[in-house]
């Protein structure tokens, strides 16, 4: 029954979602080239506000737990499990005060209105997952960027989305480089639940009535831990809070 009901609602959702991307693309362009970084960031924030609202058509809700526990005025490395692209929409809007920048695959850097422009001009990095030699200096640059500007990086160490909510093995490479080049940063683990249910039928129709939760765990100063301990604690606290049903 859910799937049947979802067909017309999914059409409406994609209309709103697509219009948001198309409308904000020229807005981003003007903000970036005429008014600079802060204006461009605001345009990206409100784009993602509109994208979250478009998912409300499907009955989707977002809850962030413990958001006030995130340290302020320091570099932040958000580490999260990855279940769907809607993980990103929520993070950009609800964590906007931390200026989140993403480690993204290069394929997203062209051809997608608004999204590709932001990835290319908003401070995020695009990596070729088949070419580690290219990825390492790009991640190094992101680490240096958040260290200098006291902003945040978002990394999904699974490397790809989990289609069933069951977490994949975490890779340490990207996080290790960020920690090395942002030594005053805090690692903030985030567990995301129920985002995968948005696309449980595939890209069409969409899942209905999902409550996506983001649980923010205790921040850990990079300087307080050996990397191996930090990585183990981060993966453990994220995975232990994932609900697969």
pTM (two decimals): 0.95
| pLDDT of 244 strictly over 80 | no
**What integer best gives the mean pLDDT of the chain?**
95
| pLDDT of 162 strictly over 90 | no
Query: What would the pLDDT profile of 6-64 be if each residue is shown by its tens digit?
Result: 999 999 999 999 999 999 999 999 999 999 999 999 999 999 999 999 999 999 999 99
Specify burial of residue 39 (Cβ count, 10 A radius: 0-12, 13-18, 19+). Answer: middle
CB 92 within 8 A of CB 100: yes
Average pLDDT over residues 211-234: 98
CB 24 within 8 A of CB 43: yes
pLDDT of residue 23: 98
Q: How far is CA 187 from CA 70, 125, 136, 233, in A?
A: 10, 19, 19, 10
Specify burial of residue 82 (Cβ count, 10 A radius: 0-12, 13-18, 19+). Answer: buried
Percent of the chain with pLDDT over 70: 100
pLDDT of residue 111: 93
pLDDT of residue 12: 98
- Structure confidence at residue 245 as a pLDDT band (50, 70, 90): low
Query: What would the pLDDT profile of 88-147 be if each residue is shown by its tens digit?
Result: 999 999 999 999 999 998 899 999 999 999 999 999 999 887 777 788 899 999 999 999
pLDDT of residue 9: 97
């Amino acid at each position: 029954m859910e799937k049947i009901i979802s067909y017309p609602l999914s059409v409406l959702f994609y209309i709103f979602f697509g219009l948001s991307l198309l409308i904000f693309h020229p807005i981003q362009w003007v903000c970036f080239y005429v008014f600079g970084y802060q204006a461009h960031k605001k345009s990206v924030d409100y784009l993602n506000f509109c994208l979250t609202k478009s998912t409300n058509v499907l009955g989707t809700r977002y809850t962030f737990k413990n958001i006030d526990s995130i340290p302020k005025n320091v570099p932040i490395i958000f580490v999260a499990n990855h279940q769907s692209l809607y993980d990103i929409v929520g993070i950009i809007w609800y964590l906007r005060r931390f200026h989140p920048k993403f480690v993204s695959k290069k394929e997203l850097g062209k051809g997608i209105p608004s999204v590709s422009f932001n990835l290319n001009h908003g401070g995020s990095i695009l990596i070729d997952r088949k070419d580690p030699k290219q990825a390492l200096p790009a991640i190094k640059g992101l680490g240096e960027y958040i260290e200098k500007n006291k902003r945040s990086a978002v990394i999904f160490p699974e490397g790809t989305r989990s289609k069933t909510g069951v977490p994949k093995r975490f890779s340490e490479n990207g996080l290790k480089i960020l920690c090395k080049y942002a030594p005053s940063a805090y690692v903030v683990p985030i567990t995301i639940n129920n985002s995968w249910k948005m696309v449980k039928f595939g890209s069409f129709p969409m899942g209905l009535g999902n409550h996506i939760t983001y649980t923010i765990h205790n921040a850990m100063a990079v300087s307080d831990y050996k990397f191996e301990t930090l990585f183990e604690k981060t993966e453990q606290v994220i995975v232990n809070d994932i609900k697969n049903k």
